[in-house]
Structure 1
């Protein structure tokens, strides 16, 4: 059986179960990385050494991981589906080591300056939600007026907005824990009330996530405002919250993570304040 046939069969089956954004990621990996290498190969003829050499040939560790995991998904799925009694050549494959990534973050002072500078812009609502709640870009663009308790400031995060195949679609949250309720700070609630105006329904931000990211970046550069990519506003929220006394467990819940380790490894950039706080607590105990 050709690998191209296996990939087509796999995608036809997963079309019924996976989110549109996940399917789009698989299509991209299959088109760009898997078909050129394995498309015309018989499944039974692929061996471990070839797979390892292919993984090692990538320049970027992230691209290697994405391509290999997609290949493994399809390969193992077709082995089960067709009950092929052959050795699983994906066992033991080693991925390249990823370098430590330090994403740029804004300080509290920088974020205040940026939020003041973008007042009145069509992307303001999405940026404000990402910055003050730590939302993913897709989540902040999908928040609707009906999702907000306009008295208390609680926001129900329950969907994402994505650009897939030239269309903008809404999907359910990434995980069960991503469906959560978060509380806006008072200044953000008041500003969003002004943005809402007399509207009683619809999305707070009328732009799609890609347009928000482009316009936000361009506006900040033109006006000399502190800027990080929209994704890094989420990192900034976690880091600022941690450095000003929030518990790591609370941050993980607010971000919609299943474990504290995810928040620790992906979003927290600076631990100096945390370590200083722990040292101060120890010193106070010893002094007592």
Structure 2
């Protein structure tokens, strides 16, 4: 069976089951990396060494990982679907070593300056909510005014807005743990109350798509000389600021909607110094008490 035919069957099946934004990622990896290498090959003839050499030829870690995982999904789905009695050549493939990524973040003072600088913009509510709650960009763009308990400041995060194939679509949150309640700081709640006015429902983003908000946010910050990070990194800034302020890693992980604490440590903890300091102080305190 030609691998290109296997891809067609796979996409036809998965389009019925997976979200549009997920499918876009798979299709991109297939077109850019997988199909150019394997389209004309028989599935049964692809070898382990060939797959390893192909992975090694992709220059960046992120692209190599995405391409390999996409190939593996199509390959294993095809083997199961057609009950092929062949060895899985995608087993034991070694990916390039992951680079150390230091995502840019804002300090508390920088974030305050930036939030003050965007006051009055039509997209202010989305950026403010993302910064104050540590949301994913899609989650902030998916918030509705009715998701907020205006008396207590609790916010129900239950959907995300995505730009897929040239149109705006909304899906439920990424995972079960991503559907969560978060509490707005008092200053953020007060500002959102002012922005809401008489509205009782409707999306905070208005008619704008997430990428449009991100672009306008970037351009305004650059024009005014405000501290800036991509909207995606406002989430990283929230986690870093919370951890530097003494929050437990476990609590930050839950607030971010992660399945495991390890995810928070790997992706959002920019510096272990504050965490190590608290551990050291706790140890020192116990030793002093024992003296």
Range class of TM-score, shorter chain = over 0.9
Q: How many pairs align?
A: 288
Distance 1:286 1:265 in 2: 31
What is the Cα-based RMSD across aligned positions, in Å? Answer: 1.0
Task: State the secondary structure of the residue aligned to 1:77.
Answer: helix
Distance 2:36 2:256 in 1: 38
The answer for the alignment partner of 2:164 in structure 1 is 164
The answer for the alignment partner of 1:251 in structure 2 is 252
The answer for the alignment partner of 1:34 in structure 2 is 34
Distance 2:284 2:80 in 1: 59
The answer for the alignment partner of 1:111 in structure 2 is 111
The answer for the alignment partner of 2:174 in structure 1 is 174
1:107-126 Cα deviation digits (max 9, x unpaired): 11111101101101122111
The question of 1:261 aligning with 2:262 is answered: yes
Task: State the secondary structure of the residue aligned to 2:58.
Answer: coil
Range with greater deviation from structure 2 (35-44 or 75-84)? 35-44
The answer for the alignment partner of 2:215 in structure 1 is 214
- TM-score of the pair, normalised by structure 1: 0.98
Range with greater deviation from structure 2 (151-160 or 42-51)? 42-51
The question of 1:61 aligning with 2:64 is answered: no
1:63-99 Cα deviation digits (max 9, x unpaired): 0110110000000100010011112111111111111
Q: Is this contact kept in 2: 1:195–1:204, CA < 8 A? A: no
The answer for the alignment partner of 2:6 in structure 1 is 6
Consecutive unaligned residues in structure 2, runs of 5 or more: none
Distance 1:285 1:65 in 2: 45
Consecutive unaligned residues in structure 1, runs of 5 or more: none
Displacement after TM superposition at 1:46 (Å)? 1.0
Matches within 5 A, 1:134-283: 134-206=134-206, 207-283=208-284
1:12-41 Cα deviation digits (max 9, x unpaired): 111121111111111111111112111111
Q: Is this contact kept in 2: 1:148–1:154, CA < 8 A? A: yes
The answer for the alignment partner of 1:15 in structure 2 is 15
Task: State the secondary structure of the residue aligned to 1:156.
Answer: strand
- TM-score of the pair, normalised by structure 2: 0.97
Distance 1:97 1:122 in 2: 42
Range with greater deviation from structure 2 (275-284 or 246-255)? 275-284
Range with greater deviation from structure 2 (40-49 or 276-285)? 276-285
Displacement after TM superposition at 1:276 (Å)? 1.5
Task: State the secondary structure of the residue aligned to 2:195.
Answer: helix
Task: State the secondary structure of the residue aligned to 2:129.
Answer: helix
Displacement after TM superposition at 1:153 (Å)? 0.6
Task: State the secondary structure of the residue aligned to 2:234.
Answer: helix
Distance 1:17 1:64 in 2: 25
The answer for the alignment partner of 1:88 in structure 2 is 88
Q: Is this contact kept in 2: 1:155–1:181, CA < 8 A? A: yes
Displacement after TM superposition at 1:285 (Å)? 2.4
